[in-house]
Structure 1
């Protein structure tokens, strides 16, 4: 938390976060005009934000793209502010329009999120790959079933929420699958990659979401859904208590 608040104390770094909120995935060259300083100065500020976990990066070819990682801020809000707010029992799922066509292994992700979980590589892999674990942490789905490569998630009333088809996987390190929302207006399938890396006693989980056809807005829509999904997964793996950060009401 100290690094988080220290990084936010500088107005230049807040300006960079605002720029990424307006347009995620920008390069250093794109971000430099936001600040009246040298390329090296902007690079140093980006490094502080990355060390604090407020941004994450993805290198595509010669370019390094920077993404706003709202999860640390969401965790701070959940810790001190969320208990003071009264929220509705149910929250409408926003329209997520996406497509799978025309993607490339070198394409730039539309959304990137990272979190660190105090667990083992085996436990995180099982949580992501075994459909029976969905019930322990998903913010909306009450259960899931698998048929071949397709996993389908359901609301408590039995309505299909979404499904995904496994495309490729490297055991305990990488999963790539489709993202196929079944709610009204969900759009065509997009693509998600989960990256698992061991860092001491923690596991770094990176989520990369590709082929979205709408801007990603922090705190809304797909970004909000991923934050709730990750918070439930992290809490369940670290405490053993099933946790659901969101509505589990039937549609």
Structure 2
């Protein structure tokens, strides 16, 4: 526990952790480019973080990629905050956060896309979180409803097509969600994955990035679905028209 608090005490190391939380799987060169520090200096800070188990690394070829490991922080929370968590819902949220941040961040995005949309940051945020908006630009959904932190997209017959559960929101800039497909029917369970929306204002435009992680085998077709959905989103925000781009069959 001493090594944990020692690692967190330095602002440079906290900045490195923030960077790895925002973008998992960065190399030493990528991290050094964000700091006014020598390569050796960044390596020393990364060594302290690795010793504290706050980061884990994955070596591929001659490159080493760094990832945030939230488990030591979770253990510290459990040690001092656990007695205060009397509500089951609070425990469930922390367990989910641990699962998503502690295990899924071991991989790089399986799919990533980026586009520029002529709209305000507020308008894009509303479009991504409002159920009626989601139904207007999604390429296959007939309707969409919100139940708490869940967006449930449905087919024309009212059966669920896709459930998106928001696990972490940074207002107007970042949305982390699980991705729960139901397009194969109620009796054909499909594995879940997760994705992230990143919003960055660019003058009178916004840059939207989609990162999709842990896509199960057999669901590679979600990449095509993303292209069609985001194309519909861009058209809807820029023209006000609801356009559905070719109802293709999504992989199950």
Identify whether the pair has TM-score above 0.5, normalized to the shorter chain.
yes
Aligned to 1:90: none
TM-score (normalised: structure 1): 0.55
Aligned to 1:4: none
Aligned to 2:182: 182
Q: Deviations over 1:120-178 (max 9, x none)?
A: 10000000011121121010002111111122111111121010111000000000011
1:83-94 to structure 2, matched below 5 A, reads none
How far 1:196 sits from its partner (Å)? 0.1
Residue 207 (1) aligns with residue 207 (2)? no
SS of 2:135 mapped into structure 1: helix
Contact 2:231 2:245 in 1 (8 A): yes
Aligned counterparts of 2:189 and 2:224: Cα–Cα separation in 1: 15
How far 1:222 sits from its partner (Å)? 1.1
Seen in structure 2, the aligned counterparts of structure 1 residues 119 and 175 have a Cα distance that, compared at 3 Å, is: same
Aligned counterparts of 2:64 and 2:119: Cα–Cα separation in 1: 34
Q: Which moved more, 1:157-166 or 1:228-237?
A: 157-166
Aligned to 2:199: 196
Aligned counterparts of 2:195 and 2:183: Cα–Cα separation in 1: 18
Larger helix share, 1 or 2:
2
Aligned counterparts of 2:235 and 2:160: Cα–Cα separation in 1: 25
Aligned to 1:7: none
Count, aligned residues: 155
Aligned counterparts of 2:198 and 2:120: Cα–Cα separation in 1: 14
How far 1:240 sits from its partner (Å)? 0.8
Contact 1:117 1:234 in 2 (8 A): yes
Aligned counterparts of 2:158 and 2:198: Cα–Cα separation in 1: 30
1:14-93 to structure 2, matched below 5 A, reads 63=65
SS of 1:153 mapped into structure 2: strand
TM-score (normalised: structure 2): 0.55
Contact 1:152 1:162 in 2 (8 A): yes
Structure 1: runs of 5 or more not aligned: 1-24, 28-60, 65-98
Aligned to 1:223: 223
SS of 1:241 mapped into structure 2: coil
Aligned counterparts of 1:147 and 1:208: Cα–Cα separation in 2: 24
Structure 2: runs of 5 or more not aligned: 1-24, 28-62, 67-98
Aligned to 1:120: 120
Q: Which moved more, 1:226-235 or 1:183-192?
A: 183-192
Q: Deviations over 1:97-136 (max 9, x none)?
A: xx97973445311110101101110000000011121121
Contact 1:100 1:189 in 2 (8 A): no
SS of 1:245 mapped into structure 2: coil
Aligned counterparts of 1:136 and 1:126: Cα–Cα separation in 2: 12
- Greater RCO, 1 or 2 (C-alpha within 8 Å, sep 6+): 1
Aligned counterparts of 1:153 and 1:104: Cα–Cα separation in 2: 24
Contact 1:110 1:216 in 2 (8 A): no
Aligned to 1:171: 171
Contact 2:179 2:194 in 1 (8 A): yes
Aligned counterparts of 2:235 and 2:149: Cα–Cα separation in 1: 27
Aligned to 1:35: none
Larger Rg: 2
